[in-house]
Structure 1
Amino acid sequence: MKVLGLILAGGKSEKLGPLVYKRASAALPIGGKYRSIDFTLSNMVNSGIIKVGVLTQYNPRSLMDHLGSGKEWDLDRKKGGLFILQPYIGFSGEYWYKGTADAIFQNMTILRRGEEDYVLIGSGDHIYKMNYNDLYLYHFSKGADITLVTKDLDDSYDMREYGSVVVDDNMRILHFHEKVENPPSRKAFLGVYFMNKHLLMELLYSTVPNGGNDLLLDVILPRINELNVYAYDFKGYWRNIKKGVREYFKINMDIVCDRNVRDELFYENGKVYTKIKDFPPAKFTANSSVKNSIVADGCIISGMVENSVIFRGVIVKAGAKVENSIIMQGTVIEEGAVVKNAIMDKDCLIREGQKVIGDFEPVILEKRTTI
C-alpha cells in the first residue's frame, strides 16, 4: 500500500509569543536537539511513508533550513522524497493559504501526479510517537471513508481548546464540537486524518472553489452523515505546542522528568530523526553539578544545572545556576548568573551576576537577548 504523507506546518500561534516571532511553530526546538516537526515526520518514515509534502507558510526559513533535502529522514531519493510546499503567486492569483483545505488544494499537483492510493495528513506542531500501520489496518477493518485519530484526554488538558468527538459503540463519529465551552466528551481530535486520495481530491474540488477553506470544518464535518467517518483512539503521550508557552514548557519538562515519556518518544516504534550538527560531546568540568537534566552535544557546563533542557553549544560558566529552564542553542550564562523558570531562545547572553527568574509562567528571552 502506498501512502502520501502531508504535514501541515505553516501555522503560527500568538499564544507562543516571542518563540514564534522568527520561526514557524513546527520549527520550535524540543528536548535538546530536536524540532517539533521531527516527531510527525519520523512517525511517517518509520511507518513506511517515503513521500512527504510539508505545507509551510509562516516564517518558513528556519523550518526549511532544518529539513534541507530530507536526508536525515532518508527522504533524499529519486522516487518519493521530501517536498516543501509553500504558497506562491500564479496566473490565477493564488498566494496566501486561506486554510488547511485551501493549502492542500493549491498543491493538488502532488496528489494528481503521485502513485499513492491513500493520504495521511498530520500536523508539525504535535509531539507524539505513533506507528501509523495500526491506523491503516483499523481504517480498512472498519470500512471507513475517513479515519480521524482521537484521544481521551485527562484533566491536564483544557478540553475547551480541543475539538470534542462523540462516537457510537462502533467508533463511528456522530457529532463533532469544535472548542466549545462545555464539551460533551473528553475524546479529542488530534489533527491526524487518513483517507483515500481520490476521495480527498473529490471533496476538495467540490468545496474549496465555493469558499470552504478548512479541511475539518468545511470539508469533512458537513458530510459526516454521508461518509463513514470513524475515530481511532490513540493511547500514548500526545501534546500540542501551539496551545501556548506553558504547554511548550510542560512538554520539555515531561521529557526531562518522566522516564515513561522519554522511553515512549525516543525508544519505541523507531527513532526520532533530526538534522545532524558537528558538535563535540558535552564537557562537564570539575566544578559542575548536573541533576535530572538533558544536556546536548557541544555544551560546556561548569556551573549548576537542575531540571532543565540545555540545547547544543550552551555554555554555563562556574558559579552560574540554571533551574527548571529551557536554554536554547548558543546561549552563554556567565559566572554567578541565576536562571530559574525561564525559556531562553538562541544565542542569548546572561552577564555575570545577573538574574532571570520567572514566576507563574516561565519568563521568555527573545533570540540574541543580552542582559
Structure 2
Amino acid sequence: MNNVLGIINLSINQPLLHELTYSRATATVPFGGRYRLIDFVLSNMVNSGINNVGVLTHNNYRSIIDHLGSGKEWDLDHKQRGLFILPPPNMNSSGFNGDLQNFYGHLEYFERSTEEIAIVSSSHMICNINYTEAVEFHKKRNADITVIYKELDTAQENLSNLIMLELNENGRVVSMTENHLKPDSNKVYMRMIILRKELLVDLVKKSVAQNYYDLVRHVIMRNLDQLNVYAYEYKGYLAIINSIHNYYKCSMDLLKPEVWKALFFQRGLIYTKIKDAPPALYAKDAPVTNSLVANGCIIEGTVENSILFRGVKIKKGAVIKNSILMQNCVIEGDSVLDRVILDKEVFVTSGNQLIGEQATPTVFTKKSSI
C-alpha cells in the first residue's frame, strides 16, 4: 500500500493511566514484557505495506523520540518517506485546544506527501490488524470516511468512556455516542479512520478556521449527515488501554495462550526497539509458573501468574504473584508482591509485603524505593 499515508495521532493522552504516564507519553507505556503501546499500531502499518508514517506528538514526547529513533526496527529508516516524528507546534496564549491544532501545525507535511489515502490511528487500541482489507472496503463503498470498529460483549466488558457506533442496514454510520455507562450499541469505535488525504487537509483547515479543534467530535461526529461515513468491522483480538484497571486486565490476559497467539502470531509480527541482553537466568530451586519473563532477568525466588520485563531481579525468598514488574526492577529477599504494578527501576527492600486489590492493583512510580 505505497499509496497510503500512516498517521499515528498521539495528541491526546489517556489521563486515566495516571502513574504510568507521569514521565512518558501514553504511547510509550510498556506492555507485554518488552513492547510499548505504539509498537502495535506502527507494526500494523508496516505489515500493511505503509512506508510513510507521521507521528503527531504532544506531551512527554522525548520518550517517543527515544523509543522510535530513526525507525530502523520497523524498516522505516529511509532517505525518502519513512518515519517522521512531528513535535507539537508552538502554542499561542490560548494553549492546547485539541488534536486538530497539531494537524494544522503540520499541514505542510501532509500536503507534501504524495499518498492519496490516509489512515489515522491512536495508540491505545492494541490489536494485530492488516489495513489492506479495510482500505479496499473504503474504496468499494466510495466512502468519504471509514471508521474501524469492534463488537464487544457488553456483559463482560466495561464500555464506559468509549465511543459507540450505530449503523444502518448498509453499514453507514448514523450516530456516534460517548461516555454512556449502559450503551445501546456494542460497536466500539477503535480510534482508527481511513479517508482521502486531500479531504483530511480540507477538513482540518475548515474546522480550525471555525475554531473547532477535535478530530472525532468536530470532524467526524459533526459531519455524519454531510459525509458518507462507513464502518469496517475488525474481528480479531482487541485490548483497550484507557485505564489502570484495563491495563492490568489486558496484561494478565496475555498469560492465556490463545490471547498471546491472537495478538502476536495471527497476522504480522509486532516489532519493537532492540535491546541486547542475555537470556533469563533461573536459579535451580526458583519455581516460575504461568508467567512471561523477558531476557536479562535473574530469578532466584518464586514467580506466579506475572509479567517480568527486561532485567528484573528477583532475589531468593521473594514471592511475586499476579503482578507486572517493568524493566530493571529489583526485589530483595523475603518480600511478597501480589496484584501490583511496578514501573521501571523500582527497588523493593527485604521483607516488604505489597498487596493490591483485585480490581485496582497498586501502582508504584518509576524509580521508587520501597
TM-score where L is the length of structure 2: 0.96
Structure 1: which 5+ runs fail to align?
none
**Which residue matches 2:61?**
60
Tell me the amino acid that sits aligned with residue 296 of structure 2. Answer: G
**Which residue matches 2:346?**
348
Is the Cα contact below 8 Å between 2:11 and 2:102 reproduced in 1? no
Instruction: Note the alpha carbon deviations across 1:137-164, whole angstroms, 9 max, x for none.
Output: 1111211111000111113322232112
Equivalent-residue separation in structure 2 for 1:182 and 1:255 (angstroms): 27
Structure 2: which 5+ runs fail to align?
none
Q: Which moved more, 1:102-111 or 1:152-161?
A: 152-161
Quick one: structure 1 residues 287 and 161, their matched pair in 2 at CA, closer, same or farther if it must change by over 3 Å?
same
Q: Tell me if 1:252 matches 2:229.
A: no
Is the Cα contact below 8 Å between 2:282 and 2:300 reproduced in 1? yes
- Cα offset for 1:346? 0.7
Q: Secondary structure at the match of 1:235?
A: coil
- Cα offset for 1:180? 3.0
Runs of 4+ in 1 over 3 A off after TM superposition: 93-97
Aligned residue-pair number: 367
Equivalent-residue separation in structure 1 for 2:285 and 2:40 (angstroms): 35
Equivalent-residue separation in structure 2 for 1:232 and 1:89 (angstroms): 36
- Cα offset for 1:318? 1.0
Instruction: Note the alpha carbon deviations across 1:213-241, whole angstroms, 9 max, x for none.
Output: 01111112222112111011111111221
Is the Cα contact below 8 Å between 2:89 and 2:102 reproduced in 1? no
**Which residue matches 2:210?**
210
Q: Which moved more, 1:277-286 or 1:11-20?
A: 11-20
**Which residue matches 1:329?**
327
Q: Tell me if 1:358 matches 2:359.
A: no
Equivalent-residue separation in structure 1 for 2:4 and 2:133 (angstroms): 14
**Which residue matches 1:30?**
31
Q: Secondary structure at the match of 2:351?
A: coil
**Which residue matches 1:76?**
77
Matches within 5 A, 1:157-168: 157-168=157-168
**Which residue matches 2:279?**
281
Matches within 5 A, 1:174-193: 174-193=174-193
Instruction: Note the alpha carbon deviations across 1:162-212, whole angstroms, 9 max, x for none.
Output: 112111111011111122344231112110000001111111111112111
- Cα offset for 1:59? 1.1
Is the Cα contact below 8 Å between 1:88 and 1:96 reproduced in 2? no
Tell me the amino acid that sits aligned with residue 300 of structure 1. Answer: I
Tell me the amino acid that sits aligned with residue 129 of structure 2. Answer: M
Q: Tell me if 1:109 matches 2:108.
A: yes
- Cα offset for 1:86? 1.0
Instruction: Note the alpha carbon deviations across 1:78-109, whole angstroms, 9 max, x for none.
Output: 1211111111328xx49954222222121111
Is the Cα contact below 8 Å between 1:87 and 1:95 reproduced in 2? no
Quick one: structure 1 residues 10 and 100, their matched pair in 2 at CA, closer, same or farther if it must change by over 3 Å?
closer
Equivalent-residue separation in structure 1 for 2:29 and 2:95 (angstroms): 22
Equivalent-residue separation in structure 2 for 1:3 and 1:70 (angstroms): 18
**Which residue matches 1:315?**
313
**Which residue matches 1:48?**
49
- Cα offset for 1:111? 0.9
Q: Secondary structure at the match of 2:207?
A: helix
- Cα offset for 1:16? 1.4
Q: Secondary structure at the match of 1:147?
A: strand
TM-score where L is the length of structure 1: 0.96
Equivalent-residue separation in structure 1 for 2:24 and 2:94 (angstroms): 20
Q: Which moved more, 1:332-341 or 1:214-223?
A: 214-223
Tell me the amino acid that sits aligned with residue 102 of structure 1. Answer: Q
Equivalent-residue separation in structure 2 for 1:4 and 1:33 (angstroms): 27
Is the Cα contact below 8 Å between 2:150 and 2:187 reproduced in 1? yes
Q: Tell me if 1:123 matches 2:130.
A: no
Is the Cα contact below 8 Å between 2:148 and 2:193 reproduced in 1? yes
Equivalent-residue separation in structure 2 for 1:348 and 1:164 (angstroms): 38
Tell me the amino acid that sits aligned with residue 225 of structure 1. Answer: D
Matches within 5 A, 1:142-153: 142-153=141-152
Is the Cα contact below 8 Å between 2:73 and 2:271 reproduced in 1? yes
Q: Which moved more, 1:112-121 or 1:220-229?
A: 220-229
Is the Cα contact below 8 Å between 2:12 and 2:99 reproduced in 1? no
Q: Which moved more, 1:360-369 or 1:175-184?
A: 175-184
Identity between Structure 1 and Structure 2 (%): 41
**Which residue matches 1:198?**
198
Tell me the amino acid that sits aligned with residue 237 of structure 2. Answer: Y
Please provide the CA RMSD for this pair: 1.5
Is the Cα contact below 8 Å between 1:57 and 1:97 reproduced in 2? no
Quick one: structure 1 residues 94 and 115, their matched pair in 2 at CA, closer, same or farther if it must change by over 3 Å?
farther
Tell me the amino acid that sits aligned with residue 350 of structure 2. Answer: E
Tell me the amino acid that sits aligned with residue 210 of structure 1. Answer: Q
Equivalent-residue separation in structure 1 for 2:269 and 2:94 (angstroms): 36
